[in-house]
Structure 1
Amino acid sequence: MSLQKIDVEKDIFNQYKTILEDWIPTDASIAIAVNNTYIYFSTGHHQFTLKIGSAVPEDSIAFQVLQTGQKTDAVMESTLFETPYYAIGYPILVNGEQGALIVVLPPLFTIKKPDTYKFLTGKQVEDWMPIPIDQISHIESLQKRTWFYSQGEQYKTAVTLKELQTRLPSNFIRIHRSCIINIYYIKKISRDLTSNFIVQLSEGTELPVSQSYINNLREVLEF
């Protein structure tokens, strides 16, 4: 590749970055992919790293944009930050080649959410029961299934934690990649023998807090 071509591409990428910086958060990330390879990357988030020249994964927004040539957005699972994040991809042309411009918003970035759940329908054996959302103490993912708990009872639901996190009221907070709790049911927060945080719920259940989520828990509960 000639030095002139490299300079032209850098100029194009910097123009995209300059335009996007006007409306995206400072800790968002920008990536560009061409021919199923990432060719540009810039980030303001310390947890997000992406190697230029690496292949585009088939389960990524970039891959979908390159395959369809259409704008694509989605709440993605925790492959980057150990927590769901919002990504949006745009089809672009780079020196006449089909490419994808990807914007990754930081974890816990507030986006417009669909209507919040007023209840969850849970299954026990062969029965289905709608449980008011304010009666649910916590929700967890176990063995590729989602379970929620109310008044000491366990219920199975077909809704994933990723989907739930976008539609639960603000009093529900994720403390682990496999667990969401209702803060109104917290009895106390303490440390275990290894100085990791443990949340104890009012009915006695103890749940570990992942290092990836402790800062958010501190911010919400102000401790």
Structure 2
Amino acid sequence: MESNVVRQFSQFIEDWIPKEASIAIAAGDQYISYIPGNHDIRIHQGQSIPSGSITERVYLHKKKVESLVDKSVFGVPYYGVGYPIEDPELGFQGALTVILPPEYSQEKLKPFSFIVGRRDEVWIPIPVEDIIYIESHQKKTIFYTKDGHYSSKFPLKTLEYRLPDYFIRIHRSFIVNISSINQISRDMASNLEVQLKHLDQRLTISQSHVLKVRNALGF
């Protein structure tokens, strides 16, 4: 599990970790690593996973879980965001939990209902439901609709957390509107790929996102 944890943890750090956060990694029935941040709930390596914790909920549901946890669990309240650690061949391996101050639950931003897109020197508000997919290319963010493509000032790592639940990240470079998926099939190299409605476009699902996509779409 160690190499898989390092790979997923590094990718996660790159995408999104607030400076005040503590990080707990669990495998089996205990925590195997803990990195304290400004909000430290004092987990120690080898500690058993307590009932009511975010980590326990990830184990139960095997998917991302986020919630406010009161002080009865660790003696300190926290807002936790837990992610399953999965291996493409071995399946569920453990959990990574981001531990934040409890007030974070009140600061969470609402999903975008529209994104302002730029085309030439014109800026147009585009309802998010009209977006087919979003791409990161050469440090630029581009989103596509039936009427054309637009650039956005937001990086994919921001949009991933500000878009409604019917958007899913399938690759480090792609976020897709699930309702715009026509079908999912395999390419010549047996990689899963998404065929989109309205566009003559196929997008590869990266190996690191396959399990998340399968779990989200139920196949």
Shorter-chain TM-score range: 0.5 to 0.7
Q: CA deviation at 1:109?
A: 4.7
Alignment counterpart, residue 126 of structure 2, candidates 131, 135, 139: 131
Instruction: Measure, in 2, the Cα distance between the counterparts of 1:61 and 1:132.
Output: 28
Instruction: Measure, in 2, the Cα distance between the counterparts of 1:189 and 1:156.
Output: 26
Question: For the structure 1 residues 220 and 150, does the alpha-carbon distance in structure 2 shift closer, same or farther, using more than 3 Å as the test?
Answer: same
What residue is the counterpart of 2:182 in the other structure?
A: 187
Question: For the structure 1 residues 165 and 61, does the alpha-carbon distance in structure 2 shift closer, same or farther, using more than 3 Å as the test?
Answer: closer
What do residues 85-116 of structure 1 show as CA deviations (whole Å, max 9, x unaligned)? xx971377xxxxxxxxxxxx899554454100
| Partner AA of 1:157 in structure 2 | S
**Contact 2:186 2:192 (8 Å CA) reproduced:** yes
What residue is the counterpart of 2:152 in the other structure?
A: 157
What residue is the counterpart of 1:49 in the other structure?
A: 6
Question: What value does the CA root-mean-square deviation take over the aligned residues?
Answer: 3.4
| Aligned pairs for 1:69-218 within 5 A | 72-73=20-21, 89-90=37-38, 108-110=64-66, 111=81, 113-202=108-197, 203-218=199-214
What residue is the counterpart of 1:39 in the other structure?
A: none
Q: SS at 1:199's partner residue? A: strand
Question: For the structure 1 residues 207 and 47, does the alpha-carbon distance in structure 2 shift closer, same or farther, using more than 3 Å as the test?
Answer: same
Instruction: Measure, in 2, the Cα distance between the counterparts of 1:120 and 1:145.
Output: 15
User: Normalized against structure 1, the TM-score is what?
Assistant: 0.56
Instruction: Measure, in 2, the Cα distance between the counterparts of 1:134 and 1:201.
Output: 14
Gaps of 5+ in 2: 8-12, 23-34, 41-54, 67-80, 82-104
Q: Which has the larger radius of gyration?
A: 1
Instruction: Measure, in 2, the Cα distance between the counterparts of 1:193 and 1:162.
Output: 30
Gaps of 5+ in 1: 1-43, 51-56, 65-71, 75-86, 93-104
Q: SS at 2:188's partner residue? A: coil
Query: Stretches of 4+ moved more than 6 A in 1?
Result: none
**Contact 1:61 1:88 (8 Å CA) reproduced:** no
Instruction: Measure, in 1, the Cα distance between the counterparts of 2:159 and 2:17.
Output: 21
User: Normalized against structure 2, the TM-score is what?
Assistant: 0.57
Q: How many residues align?
A: 143
**Contact 2:21 2:39 (8 Å CA) reproduced:** no
